[in-house]
Amino acid sequence: MYGKGCKRILALAGAAVVMTAAFLQGCGGKADSTGNQDAKVTEAQEKDAEEAAPEETKDLTGDMKEFTTGDGSVSIKLNSAWSTEDLGVDFWLGAGSSDGAEAVLVMQFPKGGTMLPADSMETVKALVVESYGIQGESDTDAPEIPGMTDLKASLCTISSEGESAEAYVVYGETDYAFYSLMYVAEKMGEEQIASMKASCGTFAETPIEAEDNSTIEVSDTVKWFNASYAVLTKLNGWDYNRFGGLPVNEESKTVVQQMLESWWDVKDRASADETLNWILTEGHRTQFVTEMKDLESAGIGSVGAEERAAFVLGVYEMDEATAQFYADCYGAYETMGEKAIDGWDYCRALNLLGYYYTAGYYTDAEALDKSLEIAQTVQAEFGSWDELIDSYMVGYEYWAEESSDERRGVYEELKSKDDNPYAIDFKMTLEKTW
């Protein structure tokens, strides 16, 4: 009946987390963590948890052995009879019993990492909750874990591909990474929780310093380039203080090449040149202006803002949501003029040059020289970071046909940070420092 369920859940859901993160790109998906149908289960779990603490402290690590992640960055002691499971991520650890009835999964999300980037504990929780189908969460006592802070724990049910189980989930962070540690069992009782707490006490971290072969010195001019696309860099969980957002190495090269192919259809130097040329000579701004002029010719400017969506519906065949979208776009065009979304194209062009360097399609000099040329154009057209980012946000809304509220929130958050990328003077003299 239950048998290999826990192993199957770990394998399937582990793959789901990897895929979710790979295509996240700052979208910030969230999942509901409640489920009334599991209320009775979690009440029983809470009772077990309350009874879990023994009156006398016992050493539960005697029958344990050390398990280590593939990259050696994490080790933890678990049941000596267990064996490891390959989760396809060398800084994750999965191990379980031979009958598949119990298992532990240690998920590490290195801060600023290339794979599975996460910029906060909230991002990690959202990924885990969504990927594992977590429901019926109930807060419980967290274990002590050496070197880890902000520890929180919960009891819940998890499900994946038709399999379900109970789980004790722990979240925390170190200076190096965010973590989720999960004990999965058919029945989560005091024995399992006590064992997991004992294992957590043996946790040891050995941070892996990412190889960085970047040849670019981050001068004030390069900081200006980085700031132009810092919002997306932050959403991706990367480092907005680096040119391109990532340390330069073979891993980041592969990741960025795959991303460029998926999102931009850029596969090599020729397609990189073609895409950059398109965004600089045409981009989305050309179509935007054409469509806004068409609306203007149709007479949209003669009606009030509240009536424009209805006006669009009367002229074009489309649904109400699309009509409202065009009415809002025209409002931005009316206020900001034909260059309303120029910032969107220019910021993306600067971002692409960072990616091209990391992916190995452009040399450092090629990427920086072109960045300087574009940045000087941007400075001549806009008066401040706020003006540029406003234009970027309008362009995002035009492209994505959705609100830019999340990205605007990131922009405001960045401006409040100690390493605020927008502290650099927008009108500074940009000069070649390479």
pLDDT score for 111:
84
In tens, the pLDDT along 219-266 reads 999 999 999 999 999 988 889 999 999 999 998 999 999 999 999 999
Residue 324 CA to residue 315 CA, distance in Å, equals 13
Model pLDDT, residue 270: 98
d(C-alpha 3, C-alpha 410), whole Å: 45
Q: How is the beta sheet containing 83-85 ordered, strand by strand?
A: 83-85, 93-96, 102-110, 177-185, 163-173, 149-160, 135-140
Q: Is residue 320 within 8 Å of residue 309, measured between CB atoms? A: yes
Residue 188 CA to residue 155 CA, distance in Å, equals 8
In this structure, the number of other CB atoms found within 10 A of the CB of residue 121 comes to: 17
**pLDDT value, residue 205:** 97
For the stretch 350-396, pLDDT in tens is: 999 999 999 999 999 999 999 999 999 999 999 999 999 999 999 99
Which residue ranges in the chain fall short of pLDDT 70?
A: 1-59, 112
From residue 279, alpha-carbon distances to 64, 264, 285 in Å are: 58, 11, 9
Tokens 């981050």 map to which residue? 218
The whole-angstrom separation of Cα 138 and Cα 157 is 10
Q: What is the largest CA-CA distance in the chain?
A: 82
Strand partners, 76: 67
Q: What is the pLDDT of residue 43?
A: 52
